[in-house]
């Protein structure tokens, strides 16, 4: 049997905007992939090659800073800020910018890391976040339109916190080093969009248990549903399990734009509840869910924390 593959879907702005029927075709391809696998690869031209080069250059600059500077990146919310120096994950380090689509937040982060300024970091982080948030919005609008829950989605839009996360994986030192650098998990976001530089490592698990390698190709963005999307769509779109394995001897850089909903409860749309689809989740607060997953024993131990948190 041929190895399973992820769907690769053309999300170039030119083709999406060319005719209404091309939007509809892309929408049905995206929906099929999301409902079957919770993930697809979008070929997206909203990030130019020049911006791509700039953002990975900016990422290297960021990781080159001393640890005592990087730890200044803090947040009240778990997994929103600096993570590193963790004995169980010696090869992993990451930093996060909250509200990364706003100039003010990116400027504050830049000033914290480089008190004397770093214009090129600031510019590329902001433009990259906006471009990827646009892709995030296009995909979520497709989901909302397909399910007839546009108004519902629009109400979440203004409460979205886009967190831009810079990730670095150091190369494994010896042959005995465990190549698993990020353990299998589902994301806790509403949606995540990942982008990797030329070194591969991300693997996604299909529902029947196969691990698929995600090839890093220029312009390819991995669009992945998070746990909050599974609850919001009343279980129609499930968050896929994924991990990072590093077998080569190169370090790896990747970027993720994670969307979280704050200051309001995510309600399960009535349109998605009927006789064939009984309600599977209760309305929930996304940030309380993050707290449950990261800080409570029950949340940490659960094999499906979103179900244990707000499942019916």
Ligand X SMILES: O=C(O)CCC(=O)C(=O)O
Instruction: Give the binding site for Fe ion (CB under 5 A).
Output: 187
- Rounded to an integer, what distance in angstroms lies between the CA atom of residue 78 and that of residue 290? 7
Quick one: 165 or 280, whose CB is closer to Fe ion? 165
Which tokens hold the place of 259?
Answer: 């969307």
Residue showing tokens 């309001």:
264
Please choose which of Fe ion, ligand X, none residue 194 contacts, taking the beta carbon within 5 to 8 angstroms, the exact cut-off set by kind.
Answer: ligand X
Task: Give the rounded distance of the alpha carbon of 124 from its chain centre.
Answer: 18
Of residues 252-311, which lie at the interface with ligand X (CB under 6 A)? Answer: 254, 256
- Rounded to an integer, what distance in angstroms lies between the CA atom of residue 125 and that of residue 56? 10
Query: How many residues of this chain interact with ligand X, rule: CB under 6 A?
Result: 10
Quick one: 182 or 310, whose CB is closer to Fe ion? 182
Residue 187 near ligand X by CB under 6 A: yes
Which of 244, 266, 272, 306 is close enough to bind ligand X by CB under 6 A? 244
| Interior/surface letters 14-39, b for 16+ CB within 10 angstroms, e for the rest | eebeeeeeebeebbebbbebbeebbb
Q: How far is the CB of 255 from Fe ion (least distance, A)?
A: 12
- CB under 6 A: which stretch of 11-19, 59-67, 104-112, 194-202 binds ligand X? 194-202
CB 223 within 8 A of CB 257: no
Please choose which of ligand X, Fe ion, none residue 91 contacts, taking the beta carbon within 5 to 8 angstroms, the exact cut-off set by kind.
Answer: none
Quick one: 196 or 220, whose CB is closer to ligand X? 196
Residue 167 near ligand X by CB under 6 A: yes
214 exposed, middle or buried (CB, 10 Å; 0-12, 13-18, 19+)?
buried
Please choose which of Fe ion, ligand X, none residue 138 contacts, taking the beta carbon within 5 to 8 angstroms, the exact cut-off set by kind.
Answer: none
Please choose which of Fe ion, ligand X, none residue 152 contacts, taking the beta carbon within 5 to 8 angstroms, the exact cut-off set by kind.
Answer: none
Task: List all residues 6 or more positions away from 256 whose beta carbon is below 8 Å from its beta carbon.
Answer: 164, 165, 167, 192, 193, 194, 195
Task: List all residues 6 or more positions away from 285 whose beta carbon is below 8 Å from its beta carbon.
Answer: 265, 266
Q: How far is the CB of 273 from ligand X (least distance, A)?
A: 29
| Interior/surface letters 80-102, b for 16+ CB within 10 angstroms, e for the rest | bbbbbeeeebebbbbbbbbbbbe
Q: How far is the CB of 246 from ligand X (least distance, A)?
A: 10
Please choose which of Fe ion, ligand X, none residue 244 contacts, taking the beta carbon within 5 to 8 angstroms, the exact cut-off set by kind.
Answer: ligand X
Quick one: 149 or 225, whose CB is closer to ligand X? 225
Element (H, E) at 295: helix 286-295
**Which residues of the chain form contacts with ligand X (CB under 6 A)?**
167, 182, 187, 194, 196, 202, 242, 244, 254, 256
């Amino acid at each position: 049997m041929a190895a399973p593959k992820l769907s690769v879907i053309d999300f170039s702005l030119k083709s999406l905007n060319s005719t209404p029927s091309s939007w509809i075709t892309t929408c049905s391809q995206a929906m099929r992939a999301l409902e079957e696998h919770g993930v697809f690869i979008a070929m997206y031209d909203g990030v130019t090659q020049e911006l791509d080069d700039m953002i990975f250059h900016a990422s290297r600059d960021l990781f080159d800073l001393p640890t005592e500077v990087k730890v200044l990146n803090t947040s009240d919310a778990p997994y929103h800020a600096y993570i590193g120096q963790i004995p169980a994950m010696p090869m992993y380090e990451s930093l996060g910018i909250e509200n990364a689509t706003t100039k003010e937040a990116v400027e504050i982060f830049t000033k914290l890391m480089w008190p004397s300024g770093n214009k090129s970091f600031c510019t590329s982080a902001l433009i990259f976040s906006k471009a990827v948030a646009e892709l995030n919005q296009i995909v979520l609008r497709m989901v909302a339109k397909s399910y007839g829950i546009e108004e519902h989605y629009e109400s979440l839009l203004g409460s979205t916190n886009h967190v831009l996360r810079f990730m670095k994986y150091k190369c494994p030192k010896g042959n005995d080093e465990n190549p698993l650098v990020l353990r299998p998990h589902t994301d806790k976001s509403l949606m995540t969009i990942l982008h990797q530089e030329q070194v591969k490592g991300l693997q996604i698990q299909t529902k029947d248990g196969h691990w698929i390698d995600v090839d890093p190709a220029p312009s390819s963005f991995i669009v992945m549903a998070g746990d909050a999307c599974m609850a919001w769509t009343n279980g129609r779109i499930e968050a896929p399990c994924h991990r990072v394995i590093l077998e080569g001897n190169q370090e790896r850089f990747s970027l993720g734009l994670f969307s979280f909903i704050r200051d309001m409860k995510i309600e399960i749309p009535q349109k998605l509840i009927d006789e064939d689809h009984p309600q599977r989740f209760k309305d929930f607060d996304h940030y309380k869910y993050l707290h449950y997953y990261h800080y409570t024993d029950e949340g940490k131990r659960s094999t499906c924390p979103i179900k244990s948190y707000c499942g019916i």
